[in-house]
Chains A and B, each alone.
Chain A
Amino acid sequence: MEQLTIVGKPVTRVDAEEKVTGEAVYGYDLVLPDMLYGKALFSPKPHARIKRINTEEAKQYPGVVAVITGKDAPWTHGESIKDKPFLAQDKVRYIGEPVAAVAAMDEDTAQAAVRLIEVEYEDLPAYFSPEEACKPGAIPIHENFASYRKFDFIVPGSMPNVCEHFKLRTGDVEKGFREADLVLEERYYVPVIQHAAIEPHSSHAQVDPESGRVTIWVANDAPFRALHEISEALGLSQEKIRFINPLQGGGFGSKGGLKVETIAVALAYHTKGKPVRVKFNREETFISTLTRHEAVIHIKSGVKQDGTLAARQMTLYWGAGAYAEKSPTVCIRGSLPAPGPYRIPHVRVDGYAAYTNKPVAGSFRGYGIPQGAWACEQHMDEIAKKLRMDPVELRLKNIFVDGDLAYWGEQLHSVGLKETLIKATQAIEWGKPPGFPASQLGGEEARRLKPNIKIGKGFACISKPTRTPTTSKAGVLVNSKGEITVLAGTVEIGQGCSTILSQVAAEELKVPLDKVRMAPLDTDMIPFDASTTSSRSTYHMGNAVRRAAIDAREKLMEMARPMLEAKNEELACSNGKVYLKDQPQMALPIGDVVRRKLGNDGIVRGDASYTYEIGKDLDLETGHSDHASAFYMYATQAAEVAVDEETGRVRILRMSAAHDVGKAINPLNCAAQIEGGLAMGIGSALHEEMVIDSQGKVRNPSFLDYHLVTSLDLPEMIPIIVECPEPEGPYGAKGLGEPGLAPTPAAIGNAVADAIGVRICDLPLNPERVYWAIQQKRAKGSSRWLTEVA
């Protein structure tokens, strides 16, 4: 391969300066001329029929421009299942569902008017556990489910409230269990958590009364998908809809789909052409945007005495919340690899995404992988314990390596998993006695005085697929000053795509990085991109930008040929110049090439589209596909923890995270992604939980009560980049954004079990749960601890 000049270098971010000076304008900061202010009324009931809504008083309130209910916005939407109204229609399905909305001259007026809306409800029975919601006899949360429009691949099955039933069938698990020396069965639970991006959600919308054109300003992570969804919902052609993406203050999956957007659009139809801004405050963001799927997971394995896995059966109940949103695909792509990155001859998986009367679950960094890993990886350690085997040895015996046929029927290549396992465990000195510096516990003296502090080590492995097949398109413009503009629909959500894609364009056009800029994201101008999700951007958009830049470069060289009086001589490009390969002094700056051919205003444009062509959907009966994912991401994380047996407090002493990224286009950014993922994973392991009571009400909708990790909570983090190149990826790159938090809770769970000798099957590992697990072990000698799910 040619020597790389910018790709692979730890260059600083192209968007950092505007962010450290406060100049960056985010969606939440955006002010439009003549803008009105919208607020919504949210359902106080988890499941109820709407008998009557009285908006008269609100309409009379001075300064109010419009008051609307579901009747004024008779549309439904949904990415995979069209089940969600813009505003509640006839019934409400969770506490926090938008029921009515007001547009007014200012936000205070809108909020005051919202309080004047009266709604009469008739309660219906409600479900707060996915396992309960799909038991025979449960009443449907969506009575008209059968008539909803759905994606072709949706298989609801026959159980009540199940919006997707994913099946994986490989071999014969019963036979595998019969042939096994050990059969172990367990149940794990992962609660609802939230993305909690520091920027809350907001959307602006405007409907042009003459043309009917709808413009939406929102920091959505998939503007083209959102555009398509709005278009289907409104029955409006796509040309009549425009999404403009202001900067996003973090998303982690929460800013996909349509939530606040639909309220803004519904209001904009009643404001005579004026734009409306709807901003959710933090509490509204907690109760009325998206959450991560809770999951009840049953896992059963058959293992040979030597540690070889013979069979694995898993049943996963994914809590979709009140509307399907991305639940079907979370269920599919989370359940598929849930049995772990291991060779297993007999596998049976049933994944059920079930409606409940909780807030809507959607995409969340990791897309189902953290939940499966929480069960699978702790289960692996339990197996190791029963077999008296080192957990690393058990993994090495079964772990995916190059050439393996995965249990979903795909032959794997570029598998860097083993290297991640070895490096992550080495980094915490696996196999050696607890090697933490005593100072971390307050010195030797403190340690001697605290026999209640127990130390343990653990790790967990994952593999993660990406959305497949999908398309990214890109344009690359070169002007007469030699400046490059990249047109790419990837959204800068903080992950660093603007830097990565700029590096790719700079690499291929052989210009310094400061000559490249990213065009703002506006669906009227920018070519199509599937989404900024699934860790797909570096690979897909990286390929598209690379090809578009090569297209532009080739056009420039063709233009330069007569200018350099070249006939058959080979041309080359470097340092922003085109030159004759054998006579490098015969050179022209690329800007000059553009100017001489097209004038001062000339622009040379390269275009490209990338699709992983051979990607195939999973077979609906077996869950098999020979190309289920464009690439796979592999990771192992390892933790050393100290548990205080008197208080139940878990402290992480150090934690390593080894990730196979294929090729690090920017090692600095890769380390930043790994550290950030790890921190989020640690929060979800130790304290994050949306506490939803027996009436379906979120009891901790604030940062005071929903605990994110702070600067005081984190251990020494050891990010490790493993590069096992993906031949089809740009420069060998895979993806990285999502896996950062996927194995984290399981790694910590294994370390905690190692420390205290009791397995805790529910998250989070907060002091209360850990304390009671220790107490139960002391009282009953039990080595398992499981709390009941609501």
Chain B
Amino acid sequence: MKIPVTLKVNGETYDLVIAPYRTLLDVLREELQLTGSKKGCDVGDCGACTVLLDGKPVNACLVLAATVQDSDILTIEGLAQNGKLHPLQEAFIKEGAVQCGFCIPGILMSLKALLDENPSPTGEEVKAAMAGNLCRCTGYSKMFKAVESATSGLGR
């Protein structure tokens, strides 16, 4: 059985017909070809699929697509605006915070949610905001630095 579902992703509206048990992650990746949200575990442990639902970070693998038709969904593909990278993206490049990059979309989305709520987080707040996102390459420390550099560059 399939049902009609309307999703609003990165400001665009998509009318889809999907099975009701499909997760937001699978629909983003397979129906919308938005593969920036990564699948590292599919059970909510790794955070690589983090997207924002009305500004709140969620694991897209734990959300049924059909249940979020009223939400604004923001994925990594929507983070840069009008061809201009988000300060977090700039800072991640500049500070060398990216290695294999597989966890990066999820981490950037978690951090975007943090900065939207709290533009000058403490180091501890940054760590806590990223605690649900696993990275196996970097040891996180260059990411912490990147957040520092992004928040100071945001004009505060």
A binding-site residues for B, Cβ under 8 Å: 10, 12-13, 15-17, 19-26, 28-29, 31, 195-200, 247-252, 281-282, 493-496, 668-669, 671-672, 675-680, 702-704, 708-712, 714, 717
Contacts and interface: CB of A to CB of B under 8 A. Distances in A.
Contacts of A197: 100, 102, 136
A25 B41 CA distance: 18
A519 B140 CA distance: 29
A714 B98 contact: no
Interface of B is mostly: loop
Given A29-B35, A710-B134, A712-B131, A15 B139 contact: no
Given A671-B96, A675-B142, A711-B130, A26 B45 contact: no
B133 A711 contact: yes
B136 A708 contact: yes
A434 to B, nearest CB: 23
B123 to A, nearest CB: 10
A738 to B, nearest CB: 14
B140 A711 contact: yes
A709 B137 CA distance: 11
Given A12-B93, A247-B101, 18 more contacts: A12-B96, A19-B104, A20-B108, A21-B80, A21-B85, A22-B36, A198-B103, A249-B101, A250-B100, A250-B137, A677-B139, A678-B139, A703-B46, A708-B136, A710-B131, A712-B128, A714-B139, A717-B141
Given A26-B102, A282-B40, A672-B142, A711 B48 contact: no
A716 to B, nearest CB: 8
B72 to A, nearest CB: 18
A673 to B, nearest CB: 8
B134 A20 contact: no
21 contacts: A12-B93, A13-B98, A16-B101, A21-B89, A22-B36, A22-B76, A26-B38, A29-B38, A196-B136, A198-B40, A198-B134, A198-B136, A200-B41, A249-B100, A250-B100, A252-B136, A281-B41, A676-B139, A708-B134, A711-B126, A717-B141
Nearest to B110: A711
Query: What size tier do the contact residues of chain B reach?
Result: 35 or more
Contacts of B85: 17, 20-21
Nearest to A681: B139
Contacts of A494: 99-102, 137
Contacts of B102: 26, 197-199, 249-250, 494
Candidate in B40, B77, B89 with the most chain A CB atoms within 10 angstroms: B40
B65 to A, nearest CB: 15
Nearest to A249: B102
A675 B40 contact: no
B42 interface: yes
A227 B39 CA distance: 27
A672 B48 CA distance: 20
A676 B101 CA distance: 13
A675 B105 contact: no
A728 to B, nearest CB: 27
B84 to A, nearest CB: 11
Nearest to A22: B36
A21 B40 contact: no
B140 A714 contact: yes
Contacts of A13: 93, 96, 98
A679 B45 CA distance: 19
Interface string B68-103: 000000011101100001000100111010111111
Contacts of B131: 710-712
Contacts of B23: none
Contacts of A31: 33
B73 to A, nearest CB: 14
A248 B98 contact: no
B152 interface: no
Nearest to A18: B101
Contacts of B118: none
Given A250-B136, A676-B139, A679-B140, A25 B35 contact: yes
A134 to B, nearest CB: 33
Given A12-B94, A198-B103, A704-B45, A676 B138 contact: yes
Given A197-B100, A249-B101, A712-B127, A281 B45 contact: no
A651 to B, nearest CB: 14
Contacts of A680: 136, 139
Contacts of A708: 134, 136
Candidate in B45, B126, B139 with the most chain A CB atoms within 10 angstroms: B139
A51 B35 CA distance: 43
Candidate in A20, A200, A675 with the most chain B CB atoms within 10 angstroms: A20
A710 B37 CA distance: 19
B8 interface: no
Contact of B100 (A198, A678, A704, A717): A198
Nearest to A678: B139
B98 A20 contact: yes
Contacts of B140: 679, 711, 714
Contacts of B136: 195-198, 250, 252, 676, 680, 708
CB-CB nearest 4 A-B residue pairs: A22-B36, A494-B100, A19-B101, A249-B102
B79 to A, nearest CB: 7
B39 A28 contact: yes
A180 B12 CA distance: 77
A669 B76 contact: no
Contacts of B96: 10, 12-13, 668-669, 671-672
Contacts of A717: 139, 141
A181 B117 CA distance: 66
Candidate in B33, B79, B96, B98 with the most chain A CB atoms within 10 angstroms: B96
B42 A675 contact: no
B56 interface: no
Contacts of B105: 20, 22
Contacts of A250: 99-100, 102, 136-137
B24 interface: no
Nearest to B90: A20
A720 to B, nearest CB: 14
A21 B98 contact: no
Contacts of B100: 197-199, 248-251, 493-494
